Structure 1
């Protein structure tokens, strides 16, 4: 049985006239009657009593009508869902963002995308690098915004978005406030707020060890808001990506000698076709003017 045959049957039930049913289905009357005959052959009995130009449903036709009606409704629901998916209407887009990546640069892109595609239901999920990679692989995320210090997996495709410097953040009144930049050696023996969740932490700690720089950790936390709050409370300085600083009043000074930076990328699974919503987001990210925030 074909869906069109069910549609022709239901139209005939409604009009009880082959000619009007054919007109409603935009086909010829012979084509409609042939389709009805095929259904009758398949179901093993007549669906309509034919009395000249007047037709009535048989008992078999009456029994089958609600099932064929339900099937037609489900088919229309499926067609509508496919159309919505293709035309970006009421479709979800799941984007993972690494917890160490702040909102300052991404918020503009997300807002622009939502304005251009109001039918997309945009969901942002935070996670560590390993969590996002696992969720991408499992299909729980469409895209992920992340930095991979050791390089990206060969089964993923990475689109570079922007580069981000690491800065030293301090509260007003800290000795570093008087400096335009902070050398790594300037931090020696200074009170320090340790960002435990940072994927670049080991890089910075290795540089400190190589340069025989000792840091006195007064506070440790995996939460960005707590780190910034403790810096503002005067517990010491912290290393932080420049676009992750959100606390009002906090001071930033570029870290130099050596400078440290990271590349933030939009990542998806290389062997999978992007959904229309994800493909539109990838194009928007490529067109976005990252230096114009």
Structure 2
């Protein structure tokens, strides 16, 4: 039994797919299948049920899984202990972000970290908040900048770095264009242009509407605030935007802070509350936590 076989087994279990596990491990899919079949031959029992559209654990596989995870965690812990004692900073870290947040000067922070620790490889990935939070909990991402609603995601620690009001933005000819502010109730019945579910700003909107008994009518969704602004500028609805994104289009749109209740969006640095982190990951988290709040 080899550690590589256990690593492949855990990856296929978590991804419920040989193909996705192979992509995650950066190896060929036939190699993953061959190693797991060899592990099954050594144990004398099938660990995975391959008969359905997704791969599932057999009863034996479910019994073996915690031991496989424990073995991999023990090896990782041993490596971390050696790195701690030798003061060696190397390896690979992954930072996730919902957007390339210019006000935080992420490129400058990453450049300074790379100068101090040139042997650490850094990957930057951009996803929505729900996907990033899942990646943090699974250990695929070391730290991330998330958009938060009322409560931080379970299993994560967070530090708020940006807090700003949420605005409604409309084209100059829209019937709401003359208002200096707008209430949540006044948005009822109007077509909204919003980020999709899984994003923090959408969660802020939906939680506030649920508390106020308002049913939002989201007519258009887009993954980037600039796209929302452009859709609103063409008269397709009321864009729901963070203040910084709204003010970038002040010449094209009429902006109204949402009041009664006041909606506020937060960007937070997040990292896994439990589980081993490499010295490199801890160093990058410490560097990111030192960023001044905006």
TM-score (norm 1): 0.55
Query: Is residue 2:264 matched to residue 1:267?
Result: no
Within-5 A mapping of 1:22-33: none
Q: Which residue of 2 aligns with 1:257?
A: 260
1:146 aligns with 2:143: no
Deviation of 1:231 after TM superposition, in Å, equals 1.0
Structure-2 separation of matches of 1:151 and 1:275 = 27
Map of 1:122 onto structure 2: 122
Q: Deviations over 1:211-249 (max 9, x none)?
A: 5657655x4224225423211212121212224559654
| 1:173-252 → structure 2 map (5 Å cutoff) | 173-197=173-197, 198-201=199-202, 203-205=204-206, 207-208=208-209, 217=218, 219-224=219-224, 225-245=226-246, 248=249, 249-251=251-253, 252=255
1:168 alignment partner, SS class: strand
The counterpart of 1:103, out of the listed 94, 101, 104, is 101
Match of 2:164 in 1: 164
Q: CA 1:111–1:156 in 2, change beyond 3 Å: closer, same or farther? A: same
Instruction: Tell whether the 8 Å contact from 1:102 to 1:244 is kept in structure 2 after alignment.
Output: no
Shift of 1:287: 2.6
Equivalent pairs counted in the alignment come to 205
Tell me the distance in 2 between the aligned counterparts of 1:236 and 1:102: 26
- Per the alignment, residue 19 of structure 1 pairs with none
Structure 2 Cα separation of the partners of residues 152 and 112 of structure 1:
24
Do the aligned partners of residues 275 and 202 (structure 1) sit closer, same or farther apart at CA in structure 2, a change above 3 Å counting? closer
Pairs within 5 Å for 1:72-83: none
Indicate if the aligned counterparts of 1:161 and 1:263 stay in contact, CA closer than 8 A. yes
Q: Tell me if the contact between 1:168 and 1:238 (Cα under 8 Å) persists in the aligned partners.
A: yes
Equivalent position of 2:131 in the other structure: 131
Kindly indicate whether residue 112 of structure 2 is the aligned counterpart of residue 112 of structure 1.
no
RMSD: 3.7
Report if aligned partners of 1:104, 1:243 keep a CA contact under 8 Å in 2.
no
TM-score by length of 2: 0.55
Task: Report the Cα offset of residue 209 of structure 1.
Answer: 6.2
Take 2:126 and 2:114, find their aligned partners in 1: how far apart are those partners? Answer: 22
**Contact 2:109/2:288 (CA < 8 Å) preserved in 1?**
no
Distance 1:189 1:156 in 2: 37
Offset of residue 143 of structure 1? 0.9
Q: Look up the SS of the partner of 2:101 in the other structure.
A: coil
Contact map agreement 1:182 1:253 (CA 8 A) in 2: yes
**Displacement after TM superposition at 1:142 (Å):** 1.0
Given that residues 209 and 215 in structure 2 are in contact (C-alpha distance below 8 angstroms), is that contact kept between their aligned partners in structure 1? yes
Counterpart-to-counterpart distance in 2, 1:259 and 1:155: 28
